[in-house]
Structure 1
Amino acid sequence: MTLNSLGLDTNKTKDIANDLNHLLANFQIYYQNLRGIHWNIKGKRFFDLHVKFEELYTDANTKVDEVAERILTLGETPLHTFQDYIGKAQVPVGKNISEDEKSVNLIVDSLTELLKIERIILNKTDEANDEGTNSMMSDFITEQEKTVWMMKAWLGETV
């Protein structure tokens, strides 16, 4: 076993960085979805949703940067082209969505995919003793679970 300067197994960190790149690709699609629904939302709930979507895309943009920087911290290179993102992402792509419920459902569906990826990373980082990435995933999961709950409540649904 070879340890890097962080004291982590280099084989495990390479695998974790690969998973983080997968997460990064999905976050970039999620971010673009949020920008699109922010720009295109229409209807009686415009003012509330327009502001909420801006809050969410600002947060997603911050998380994109955090994930990319963590990949670099682990000694790997973050993906940085839309071609790479599209090839790796499972988050649904929302195109020309302007209706409130469709917009909120897109957020819920996207976060559901992100949470699946983050839980995989959380388990791997726990096994690799990678507290930095583990803590990041734990924080992301906690925030996103709350957002899913709130969005589902807005839709009149339960988690």
Structure 2
Amino acid sequence: MAKDDEKTTEEAPAKGGKKKLIIIAAVALVALLGGGFAGYKIFSPKKVEAEPAPTPGVVSVLDAITINLADGHYLKLKMTLQATTEAAEAPDGSKALDIAIELFSNQSQDKLLTAEGREAAKKELVARVVKAYTEDKKKEVMDVYFTTFVIQ
């Protein structure tokens, strides 16, 4: 009987070892899944609510100006400012005209004659004008439109 006792004692730890291994694997799997879920929640991008688009208001037509370009060329520019309904009154165009003169002065004719160059310059102008007419998070101007853009 001693041999039978040795066999049962040898077999018993083997079965218990498999159960322990399964339990350890299950706990590790749960820990991995829980850690992965926690990591996803912590590091997932947060939803940012965009500002509502401003409502268009009055349009201010500005006088045409002539700007000196590089190499003796000129730009005749006439633009309008699209105000928002948040603006108490039609915006004064002097800031926008000053920004346009600063931006376009001494630029090359070749750059402004291409659609890409003109569009890039307009995007820069709109960004600067909107920033200049924004006070206390209140946008007064939302866009700029070219009504005349002639290079000579």
Question: What range describes the TM-score normalised by the shorter chain of this pair?
Answer: under 0.3
What is the TM-score of this pair, normalised by structure 2? 0.26
What is the TM-score of this pair, normalised by structure 1? 0.25
Higher helix share: 1
Larger RCO, structure (CA 8 Å, separation 6 or more): 1
Work out which of the two has the higher radius of gyration on C-alpha atoms and give 1 or 2: 2
Higher strand share: 2
